[in-house]
Amino acid sequence: MKSESQVKQIFDYLMNGCRLTGLEAIKKFGSIKLSNRIGEAEKRYGVTIDREWKEIKTRFGKKEVMEYYINQKMK
């Protein structure tokens, strides 16, 4: 999958009110570099994609990962 189509798919996913982490991006879109795709989407579509740390449970304890979303009030 080309990164250009990944950018569009990720942007559409976020525009639908969904949130996305790096692991979810790999599973859903095959995107290894989510932060790059987010930056490309912001430039291409002229929107700000918000970020916040999300705590997840792992088999070894807890870990924080970055989660991306589009603030629905700003659309």
Give pLDDT tens digits for 23-47: 999 999 999 999 999 999 999 999 9
Reported confidence tier of residue 4, pLDDT bands at 50, 70, 90: low
Domain 3-74 has CATH 1.10.10: yes
CA–CA–CA angle 39, 24, 12 (5° rounding): 55
CA–CA–CA angle 43, 18, 7 (5° rounding): 30
Which pLDDT score, from 0 to 100, does residue 72 have? 75
Reported confidence tier of residue 63, pLDDT bands at 50, 70, 90: very high
Strand (E) or helix (H) holding 52: strand 50-58
Q: What value does the CA radius of gyration of the chain take, rounded to a whole number of Å?
A: 12
The whole-chain average pLDDT of the chain stands at 92
Query: Which is more confidently placed, 65 or 4?
Result: 65
Across 56-71, average pLDDT: 96
Distance linking the first and last C-alpha atoms of the chain: 27
d(CA 63, CA 70): 23
